[in-house]
């Protein structure tokens, strides 16, 4: 029987299950223990599992991500929480130059079964330094798996298979989704290699992920009122990309708009469009389009922040421009 829970509670349940199922699993990060997590995801876990399994760390991302790598190499299954994506820049060397490369540099002798979680995205008036979407940066790096759960089901179901992966996995949790509610089935198994079709359609494909998914679904509802049926694909897995699902949809609809909260220049949207152009160019009836964040640091003022980010109205406009005059 399905239960109605928030995205935040789904994440908490995922952690509880992982800690309960495998004694090698432990959680570490800033304020994850006594405080219950900056976003209350680990609330109550310290009391149940104790300080050896739920560990508060010093304010040094470089240090505690490195400790997580060492623990993973030693046979543990650490979950490292980085409070927000901008703080992950302080641990880039550990993530990009160590965790991602160990299997390659050791000739396959070592793996790093490490899960790193972090909150991402804008929309909360936290200004430029706490509103980044760097998923595309990390998706550039071989050796990493990049997940972006947008639904309650994925928030609940992605952690366990990520912990089973022998190589490092980064999970990006969009802050604007934390209070979102959804139905959670008893079967929480999730495939962390495949995209998911969220809405069927024949006129245009809308590719998106994370915090932009529900804006995209809202845009699809608006378009449907005018007889335009959009197929909405939640990428979910940003590395490795599920290219087969993407191309199958584009070949069916013959038009595509990519919605990406990253800045347009160098965004993941550009990689998606390049893949489509390389492999499905002659299936297209119009050039691919994209809706990205404006090329500015995210403003603090609410109306300016909203104007800078992809919104349903911008997605609708992009689709209508692609389809041309009725």
Q: Which residues are catalytic?
A: 61, 130
- What is the spatial distance between Cα 229 and Cα 66, in angstroms, rounded to a whole number? 47
DSSP state, 302? Answer: H
- What is the spatial distance between Cα 323 and Cα 21, in angstroms, rounded to a whole number? 51
- What is the spatial distance between Cα 133 and Cα 309, in angstroms, rounded to a whole number? 11
Beta pairing, strands 181-184 & 3-6: antiparallel
Q: Is 132 helix (H, G, I), strand (E, B) or coil?
A: coil
172 with 210: CB under 8 angstroms? yes
| Contacts (Cβ under 8 Å, ≥6 apart) of 120 | 84, 85, 132, 133, 134, 135, 172, 173, 174, 175, 210, 211
- What is the spatial distance between Cα 115 and Cα 202, in angstroms, rounded to a whole number? 37
| DSSP secondary structure of 78-101 | EEEEEEEGGGGGGGHHHIIIIITT
- What is the spatial distance between Cα 281 and Cα 254, in angstroms, rounded to a whole number? 9
| Tokens coding 276 | 């489509």
């Amino acid at each position: 029987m399905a239960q109605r829970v928030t995205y935040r509670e789904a994440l908490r349940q995922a952690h509880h299950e992982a800690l309960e199922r495998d004694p090698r699993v432990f959680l570490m990060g800033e304020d994850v223990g006594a405080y219950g997590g900056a976003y209350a995801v680990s609330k109550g876990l310290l009391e149940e599992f104790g300080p050896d399994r739920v560990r508060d760390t010093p304010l040094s991302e470089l240090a505690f991500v490195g400790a997580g790598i060492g623990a993973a190499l030693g046979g543990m299954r650490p979950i490292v929480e980085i409070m927000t994506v901008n703080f992950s820049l302080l641990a880039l060397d550990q993530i990009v130059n160590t965790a991602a490369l160990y299997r390659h540099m050791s000739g396959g002798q070592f793996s790093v079964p490490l899960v790193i979680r972090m909150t991402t995205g804008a929309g909360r008036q936290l200004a430029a330094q706490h509103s980044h979407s760097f998923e595309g940066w990390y998706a550039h790096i071989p050796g990493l798996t990049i997940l972006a759960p947008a639904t309650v089901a994925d928030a609940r179901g992605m952690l366990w298979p990520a912990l089973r992966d022998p190589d490092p996995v980064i999970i990006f949790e969009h802050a604007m989704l934390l209070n979102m509610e959804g139905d959670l089935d008893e079967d929480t198994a999730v495939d962390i290699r495949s995209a998911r079709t969220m809405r069927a359609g024949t006129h245009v494909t809308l590719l998106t992920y994370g915090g932009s998914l529900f804006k995209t679904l809202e845009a699809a509802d608006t378009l449907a009122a005018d007889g335009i049926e959009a197929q909405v694909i939640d990428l979910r897995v940003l590395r490795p990309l599920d290219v087969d699902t993407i191309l199958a949809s584009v070949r069916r609809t013959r038009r595509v708009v990519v919605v990406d909260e990253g800045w347009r220049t160098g965004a993941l949207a550009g990689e998606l469009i390049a893949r489509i152009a390389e492999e499905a160019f002659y299936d297209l009836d119009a050039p691919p389009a994209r809706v990205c964040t404006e090329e500015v640091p995210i403003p603090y003022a609410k109306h300016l922040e909203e104007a800078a980010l992809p919104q349903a109205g911008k997605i609708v406009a992009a689709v209508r421009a692609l389809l041309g005059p009725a």
